[in-house]
Amino acid sequence: MDILPQLILNSVIAGAIYALVALGFNLIYGATKFFNMTHGVIAVIGAYAFLFFGKTLGLNLFLSVFIGVATAAIAGYGLDKLIYLPLRKRKASNMALLIASLGAFTALQAIIAILFTSQFQTLWRNYSTQKIYEIYGGVITQTQLIILISGILITAALVLSLKYTLFGKMVRAVSDDEEAAKIIGINTNKIISRVFIIGSAIAGLAGILIGFDTGIEPTMGMSLLLKGVIVSVIGGVGNIYGGFLGAFLLGFAENFGIWKISGEWKDAIAFALLIIFLLFRPRGIMKK
Amino acid sequence: MKKIIVGIVVVILIVVGVSYFGKNSSQPTAKESIKIGVILPLSGTAALIGEAAKNSAILAKESFGKTKNTYELIFEDDQIDSKKTVLAFRKLVDMNNIKAVITGFSGPGNAIAPLAEKEHVIHFSIGSTDTTIPKNKKFVFSHWLLPEKQAEVYIKEAKIRGLKKIAMIVVNQQGTIATREALLKEDPTIFILKNDTISPEERDFRTIITKAKNEKADALMLLILPGQLTSTVKQIKDLGITVPLTSAGSIEHEKEAVSLLEGQWYVNPGGPSDTFVEKYKEKYGNLPQIGSGNVYDVINILISSFEKSKGVENVVNIISEIKDFPGVMGVLDMDSEGIISGTAIVKKIINGKFVEVK
């Protein structure tokens, strides 16, 4: 194992995980303009749905992944319908939406802990079947490769669909100006609901893949969300490309940063980067 | 309106008066039971250990035999989160009027020790390697292995096995840091990455493991918390590291990690007597966990001390002078620092079981 390739791979893996979390977060923020705190716990819901169907009931792996992703998507849709849509209809401020999402986050996290215990759990069934690949002296596991490829493919699919499909154009219209979008006949609530479904499905997939890579626990949602928010701010909140770049920038900064100093500085490095961007480039890498 | 205000004031005065006088009665009445609070991780990453400790406390109370006083154990769950431990302690003191409290692990023990001292509640800390918890405190005690003893056995075993460069993976938490300091005091030359710590919330250990590999460590030493073991070991294996994975006290935390650690050796506190293990197995159908025997002993110490005197001050003096107390963890003596220490043993995971290496 060579050190530089391994450090680069460690950074890329961390970046890919952050990118998956930030993609859905940015998509939802773009359409709704509020910090959806439940995004972290939606990833946890996807992971625990997989745990139940894939590991406890022993269903087929791909079917379980599909159920996990679908559960996360339904949870996201349900939160929009039950909490955010009624608040939006009452013209609630973004602060009210943020606090409501924080409340929903706490409640959902507690429910998961009650249903599945707070015990740390893994999603893999048999560790010995895990394939490991060597790239220029560094090693990467099959799961980490899937995380990386998923991040790239989902980003590409999102970018293309936002640019070339009618739905994508409507999402962009809602993101630019919700009132104007309504005037030209777009059902903005329907578009936002669909955005919640897509963003939450991506979060669910992220939760499952993270579960395969490191493991899951009910409280993991907050740290995922925090990293997702940092990445979004670095990349430009609501910007899909920016979020993707920001994720890898954060991954590299954290992993190279702790190469010569104690590992405990990792979070401090992440927040220092956030402060630097807020001070000197508050609209992120991609926004001018 | 005036009558309502007067009524409210009277009710407030009664409530304040009752709680003030209730709180200051240090001696329980003949009919009142002596309440012992037990704050353990009954859910969360260390629930396996916490549940077994709870079972042991119940077993100890039931097995004690006939007593002059009645005793009540009140259990609270803290998930090894010191904030929750403090909340549970306040509830136990303010509402349940406990005379003694037991906590698990160094973090919660550290959080409760000054509060127990202030409230004159007898505090026993279990599973806490941090020896500063009872230091200079009259009401605070510890029943756990001294980190110095653990370090001595670990270094001896490492030298027998020819290890010369052991990379430390240490979480920044009182207990793990105390163990690290004891190991470095015992032999500072054998360890590398000794000043590198990681956050208790961290789950991505890839870069610190890469550092250990880069330093060509001939073994890794894990001083980590429940909830971190499985992911750390998996990431070590993912990175293709095949050197021994050792530890002092962090290995028996998670069932999921056992298969990944087959054949590895580590140092742990000595286990309880066979009689206790059999008794536990008979009642609960499974084996006790690390710390179970210590909780059993502490309940026995508390009940036998309260049987001799009901006053908390007197009980503290009795506990401070414990000598040759027959416990399931051996013959127990209280030292001048308020610690009942145990023995350290070398263990190995063989066929998924934690086996002592004789």
Tens digit of each residue's pLDDT (9 = 90 or more) over A15-27 = 999 999 999 999 9
B23 pLDDT above the threshold of 70: no
3-state secondary structure of B2: helix
- Select from B226, B311, B126, B180 the least CA-distant residue to B113: B126
Model confidence at A205, in pLDDT bands (50, 70, 90)?
A: very high
B240, two tokens: 């293709």
Is A184's pLDDT higher than 80?
yes
- Please give the mean pLDDT across all residues of chain A: 92
CB distance B198–A263 less than 8 Å? Answer: yes
Substitution target in A8, A214, A227, A259 with the highest count of B β-carbons within 10 Å is: A214
Residue B114 corresponds to which tokens in the numbers above? 């000054």
Report CA torsion sign: A236, A240, A244, A250: positive
User: How confident is the model over A251-255, as a mean pLDDT?
Assistant: 95
The tokens of A236 are what? 């430009």
Question: Token digits for B335?
Answer: 């030292």
Residue B260 phi/psi, 5° resolution?
Answer: -75, -15
Instruction: Tell me, yes or no, if B260 comes closer than 8 A to chain A by beta carbon.
Output: yes
State yes or no: pLDDT of A283 exceeds 80.
yes
| B214 vs B194: CA distance, rounded Å | 15
Q: Which of A42-46, B38-42, B201-205 is predicted with the least confidence, judged by mean pLDDT? A: B201-205
> Residue A115's closest chain B neighbor by CA?
B43
Other beta carbons less than 10 A from residue B25's beta carbon: 10
Q: Are A99 and A196 in contact (CB under 8 A)?
A: no
pLDDT in tens, A85-134: 999 999 999 999 999 999 999 999 999 998 998 788 888 877 777 788 99
Distance from C-alpha of B131 to C-alpha of B125, rounded to nearest angstrom: 10
Strands B122-126 and B140-143: parallel
Tell whether A129 lies on the interface with B, counting CB pairs under 8 A: no
Question: Quick one: pLDDT band at residue B6, thresholds 50, 70, 90?
Answer: low
Specify the 3-state DSSP secondary structure of B23: helix
The pLDDT, as a whole number, for residue B10 is 67
**Which is it for strands B344-350 and B353-356: parallel, antiparallel or unpaired?**
antiparallel
Q: Kindly state the average pLDDT of the residues A19-43.
A: 94
Check pLDDT > 60 for residue B29: no
d(CA B230, CA B237): 11
Q: Is B286 exposed, middle or buried (0-12, 13-18, 19+ CB in 10 A)?
A: exposed
pLDDT at B3: 65
Does the pLDDT of residue A158 top 60, yes or no?
yes
pLDDT at A238: 83
Nearest to B210 among A6, A215, A262 (CB): A6
Mean pLDDT of B249-276: 90
Of B318, B349, B332, which is closest to residue B272 (Cα–Cα)? B332
C-alpha distances in angstroms, B103 versus A93, B38, B73, B110, B143?
44, 6, 13, 9, 11
A119 vs B207: CB contact, 8 Å cut-off? Answer: no
Supply the mean pLDDT for chain B. Answer: 90
Say whether pLDDT at B24 is over 50. no
Instruction: Reply yes or no on whether the pLDDT at B346 is more than 60.
Output: yes
H or E segment and range at residue B210: helix B206-214
Please name the member of B197, B259, B260 whose beta carbon is closest to the beta carbon of A263: B197
| Burial class of B341 by CB neighbour count within 10 A (0 to 12, 13 to 18, 19+) | buried
Read off the tokens for B186: 């015992």
Element (H or E) spanning B28, and its range? none
CA distance from start to end of chain A: 41
List pLDDT tens digits, range B292-323.
999 999 999 999 999 998 788 999 999 999 99
User: Which of A10, A215, A263 has the CB atom closest to B196's CB atom?
Assistant: A263
Three-class secondary structure of residue A170 per DSSP: helix
- CA B56 to CA B279: how far, in whole Å? 10
Does the CB of A106 have a partner CB in chain B at under 8 Å? no
What pLDDT does B271 receive? 87
∠ CA A27-A115-A21 to the nearest 5 degrees?
20
Instruction: Scan residues 29-88 of A and list those with Cβ closer than 8 Å to B.
Output: none
B203·A220 Cβ contact <8 A: yes
Decide: B198 and A264 in contact? Cβ < 8 Å: yes
Residue B8, SS3 per DSSP: helix
- Could you tell me which residues are beta bridge partners of residue B196? none
- Name the pTM for this structure: 0.83
Give B110-142 pLDDT, tens digit per residue: 999 999 999 999 999 998 888 899 999 999 999
Residue B219 CB contacts under 8 Å (≥ 6 apart), including other chains: B158, B163, B165, B166, B167, B243, B244, B245, B246
CA distance B284 to chain A (A): 20
Residue range B26-36: mean pLDDT, rounded: 68
What average pLDDT score do residues B345-351 get?
A: 94
pLDDT value, residue B26: 45
| Strand, coil or helix: B258 | helix
Chain B residues within an 8 Å CB radius of A258: 207-208
- Who has greater pLDDT, B81 or B74? B74
When mean pLDDT is compared across A120-134, A272-286, B125-139, B273-287, the lowest value belongs to: A120-134
Q: What's residue B5's pLDDT?
A: 66
User: CA gyration radius for chain B?
Assistant: 22
pLDDT at A122: 87
For residue B45, give the chain A residue with the closest CA.
A119
What was the pLDDT predicted at A51?
96
Angle between helices B229-238 and B206-214 (to 10 degrees): 50
